[in-house]
A and B are shown apart, each in its own frame.
Chain A
C-alpha cells in the first residue's frame, strides 16, 4: 500500500502541469477562474492546442490517436487540467460519440469522423433525452423509418447541450416499434444542417441558454450514418454512458473553486472582519474541503482498481464519485454565492444589449448566483443521483 505517485508519475504530473501553465490562453483561464461563460472559439482553440500536443483524445486507444496512458496517468492529466484551470474537453465528441464510433462504427466512419473530433472540426451534440424520456431513457419515442437509402427521422430531443453550436448530432431513435423498448433503438449520426431540424434554446434558471430542444420533422439522413447494427443502439448508449468515468467526481475543479472561495472570503467583510475569519463560515469551508479530500482519496481508490480490472465494465463505485462529486460542487457554488452577500442579487441579463456588465457591486459577484442556480444540474444530468443510488443498491449492495 502506497498512496504516493511513482517517480515517473510525478515527472508526468510536472510535465502536464507545465504544459497547462504555458499553453492555456490567459483570457480563457481568467474566464474559468471568474466563473464566466466560455465562447465557442475559446473551446475550439483549446481543443486544437491539445490536439497539436497529441493530448486531445488522450483516453482513446493509440491506433485512433490516443496516448496509451495508464489509468493513473489519465487521472493525473484530468486533475491537472481542472486545477490549472483549463477547459474540460467538450465531452460530446471526445468522450461520447468518438468511443462509440471507434468501438462499433465502420472503417469509413472511423476514418472520417475520429480525426475531426480530435481537432473539434465537428462540434457534436447529444440527441438522447426527450420530453418523455429522462431517467427512463429507453422510453424514447423519436422514430427513424428506413426509406431506401435513407432514414426518415421524426420526433423531439431535449436538454441538448450547446446544440446551437453543433455541426452534428448523434441520435437514439426507435427503429423497431414492436420490439421490447431497449431492443428497438438505433444509433444514428445526423448533420445538423439537414433540412427539417430546428433548434430552440431553453433558458435555464441561471438565465443562460446552454441547452436546447431539437425538433426532427421528416429529416432525411443517409442510411450509412447508422452506427453498428440496427436495433443495437441501446447497447452502444450504455457503453457510452459507462465509458470515461474518470473525472466524473470533478475533484480538480472543486479544488480550484475552493481556492477562489478562500480568495473572495479574504476580501469580503462581515462584522468588520474578512469572511474567512468568521468561525461559522470557515467551518463551512473546512467541512466541504474535508469531504473533497475524502472524495479525492475515494477516486484514487477507484482509479487504482481500474488499473487492475479485467472486465472493462464501469465500476459501480463510480456512482459514489458522481453522487459525492455533485454534492460537493453544489455546496461550493452555494458558499461562493454566500460570500458576496447582497451582491449575489443583481442580475446581468446575457440578452441585454451591450454587455453583461454587473449593474451593482464587485464584478466578481456577477457569475456566482447564476453558478449556484446552474449547478443544480450536476445532480440531475448523467443519471440523477437517485438513479446512481439505485445502481449502487443493485450492483454493490445486492438489494
Chain B
C-alpha cells in the first residue's frame, strides 16, 4: 500500500504542471477560449513534445506507455489549469478505443499521428434517447459492398466539430436496447454523409451534433469483433470516467484552495471573513468532500484495468457517484463563499465550477451511477 508517485511519475507531474503553469494562466485561457478553435494548437504541439499525447500508447506507436496513474496526473493538471484542448476525446476515448481494441494496422495508422499531435479524435456514442445507457443505440451500420453504411445521429460529441476521425458506436443487429449487436467504427470526419453542427458547451469545450447519412465505412475500419462491441464500449467509457475523476481532483482542490485564499484576504466588518467560524466550517466541508473525491479517484485509477467487468464497473460507478456529489457541493460552496465576485466570468472560480458541473454530467451523473451501483449489488454482501 503506497500512495506516493514514482520518480518518473513525479517528473511527468512536474513537467505538465510546469508547462500549464507557464503557458496557461487564466488570462491566456480567456484568449484561447475566444479563438475560433476554442483551444490552442500551439499548446497541443507542446503536449506532443512532452509525450502526453502518446501517454498510454506503446513506444512503437510513439507513446510513453503510461498507465492509469500517469493519465490521472495529466488530467488533474489539466483540471487545475482548465485546459481546453481535446485531450480526453482524442487520447483517452477515440485513441484509447484503438489502443485497447484496434487491429495492428489501425494502431499503426492512428496512434503515432495522435502522439505527434497531428490528429484529434472524437468518441460519438450518446444519442437523443440513450441518456447514459451504453447499450441504447439506434444508429445503424448495415453491411454493404464488403463494408458498412452508417445512418443515424449522435449528440453532445466532445470535439465532434473539429475531430479528424470519429469512433462511432452503431447497431449491426438486434433491438435499440440490446447489449448484443453493437459495433465500433472508425469514421473519417470528412467522409461523405457526415455533417456536423458544432457548438460550445457550458464549460467552454467544443462539441457537436453529428449526422451520419449513408456514410460508407470500409471493413478494416471496424474496431474489435463486429456485433460484440458492448464490453469494449464499457471499457472505453470506464477509461473516460477514471480520467474525468483525475480531472475532478484538479478542479476540486483548486476550488477549495481558491476559497481558502479568498477567506484569508477578503475583509468585511473590519476582519478577514476567514475568521468567521461558519465560513471556516464550510471550507472544511469542501476540503473533506474534495479529499473523499480524491480517495475514490485513486481507487478508480487502480481498478480501471480490472479485467472482470462487473467488479470494474461497480467501482467506477461508486467513484463517479462520489465525484459527482463532491463536485456539486464543492462547486456550489465555492461560489457561495466568494459571494458576488464568484458569480462573474472574471474569476476562475466560476469556470472551475462549470467544469465540475460538466464532469458530474458526463458519462452519467451521481444519481445515475448510484442506481447502477445498487443494481450491481454494492460492495458488501448481506451478512
Residues of A within 8 A of B (CB): 1-6, 9, 33, 72, 255-256, 258-260, 262-263, 265-266, 276, 279, 282-283, 285-287, 289-291, 293-298, 300-301, 303-305, 317, 320, 323-324, 386, 389-390, 392-393, 396-399
Residues of B within 8 A of A (CB): 1-6, 9, 69, 260, 263-264, 274-275, 277, 280-281, 283-285, 287-288, 291-293, 295-296, 298-299, 302, 318, 321-322, 367, 370-371, 373-374, 378-383
Partner of A1, one of B6, B274, B287: B6
Q: How far is the CB of B268 from chain A (nearest CB, A)?
A: 15
The answer to whether B383 and A260 have CB atoms under 8 Å apart is yes
Q: How far is the CB of A340 from chain B (nearest CB, A)?
A: 15
7 sampled A-B residue pairs with Cβ under 8 A = A1-B6, A5-B1, A260-B383, A279-B374, A282-B374, A293-B318, A389-B281
Question: Which of chain A's residues has its CB closest to B6's CB?
Answer: A1
A170 to B277, CA, bound (A): 33
The answer to whether B3 and A304 have CB atoms under 8 Å apart is yes
Q: How far is the CB of B375 from chain A (nearest CB, A)?
A: 8
Chain B contacts for A300, CB-based, 8 A = 1, 3, 295
Q: 6 tightest A-B contacts by CB?
A: A297-B295, A393-B280, A262-B382, A259-B383, A286-B374, A294-B292
Q: Given known contacts A290-B321, A295-B292, A297-B299, is B380 in contact with A399 (CB within 8 Å)?
A: no
The answer to whether A398 and B260 have CB atoms under 8 Å apart is yes
Q: Given known contacts A389-B280, A393-B281, is B296 in contact with A294 (CB within 8 Å)?
A: yes
The answer to whether A259 and B382 have CB atoms under 8 Å apart is yes
Given A265-B382, A386-B281: 8 more A-B contacts, CB < 8 Å:
A1-B9, A255-B380, A262-B382, A289-B373, A293-B299, A303-B1, A320-B291, A323-B288
A381 to B97, CA, bound (A): 52
A294 to B248, CA, bound (A): 15
Chain A contacts for B370, CB-based, 8 A = 283, 286-287, 290
Chain A contacts for B9, CB-based, 8 A = 1
The answer to whether B383 and A397 have CB atoms under 8 Å apart is no
The answer to whether B295 and A301 have CB atoms under 8 Å apart is yes
Q: How far is the CB of A296 from chain B (nearest CB, A)?
A: 8
A296 to B321, CA, bound (A): 16
Question: Which of chain B's residues has its CB closest to A323's CB?
Answer: B288
The answer to whether B379 and A293 have CB atoms under 8 Å apart is yes
A282 to B69, CA, bound (A): 32
The answer to whether A298 and B380 have CB atoms under 8 Å apart is no
The answer to whether A397 and B284 have CB atoms under 8 Å apart is yes
Question: Which of chain B's residues has its CB closest to A282's CB?
Answer: B374
Which of A256, A265, A286, A305: most chain B Cβ within 10 A?
A286
The answer to whether B322 and A72 have CB atoms under 8 Å apart is no
Chain A contacts for B371, CB-based, 8 A = 279, 283, 286
Q: Given known contacts A293-B296, A399-B274, is B379 in contact with A72 (CB within 8 Å)?
A: no
Chain A contacts for B283, CB-based, 8 A = 393, 397, 399
Partner of A2, one of B2, B281, B378, B381: B2
Q: How far is the CB of A266 from chain B (nearest CB, A)?
A: 6
The answer to whether A393 and B383 have CB atoms under 8 Å apart is no
Question: Which of chain A's residues has its CB closest to B2's CB?
Answer: A2
The answer to whether A285 and B378 have CB atoms under 8 Å apart is yes
The answer to whether B260 and A262 have CB atoms under 8 Å apart is no
The answer to whether B292 and A324 have CB atoms under 8 Å apart is yes
Chain B contacts for A323, CB-based, 8 A = 288
Question: Which of chain A's residues has its CB closest to B280's CB?
Answer: A393
Partner of B382, one of A1, A5, A266, A290: A266
Q: How far is the CB of B142 from chain A (nearest CB, A)?
A: 38
Q: How far is the CB of A300 from chain B (nearest CB, A)?
A: 6
A259 to B378, CA, bound (A): 10
Chain B contacts for A295, CB-based, 8 A = 292, 295
A33 to B382, CA, bound (A): 12
Q: How far is the CB of B164 from chain A (nearest CB, A)?
A: 34
Chain A contacts for B260, CB-based, 8 A = 397-399
Question: Which of chain B's residues has its CB closest to A320's CB?
Answer: B288
Chain B contacts for A386, CB-based, 8 A = 281
Partner of A290, one of B4, B280, B373: B373
Which of A9, A294, A296: most chain B Cβ within 10 A?
A294
A6 to B1, CA, bound (A): 7
The answer to whether B287 and A291 have CB atoms under 8 Å apart is no
The answer to whether A3 and B382 have CB atoms under 8 Å apart is no
A22 to B301, CA, bound (A): 36
The answer to whether B322 and A392 have CB atoms under 8 Å apart is no
Q: How far is the CB of A368 from chain B (nearest CB, A)?
A: 14
The answer to whether B383 and A263 have CB atoms under 8 Å apart is yes
The answer to whether A298 and B1 have CB atoms under 8 Å apart is no
Chain A contacts for B288, CB-based, 8 A = 320, 323-324, 392
Q: Given known contacts A1-B5, A297-B299, is B379 in contact with A289 (CB within 8 Å)?
A: yes
The answer to whether B69 and A1 have CB atoms under 8 Å apart is yes
The answer to whether A397 and B287 have CB atoms under 8 Å apart is yes
Chain A contacts for B1, CB-based, 8 A = 2-6, 9, 72, 300, 303-304
Chain A contacts for B263, CB-based, 8 A = 399
The answer to whether B2 and A304 have CB atoms under 8 Å apart is yes
The answer to whether B274 and A289 have CB atoms under 8 Å apart is no
A68 to B196, CA, bound (A): 65
A9 to B264, CA, bound (A): 44
Chain B contacts for A397, CB-based, 8 A = 260, 280, 283-284, 287
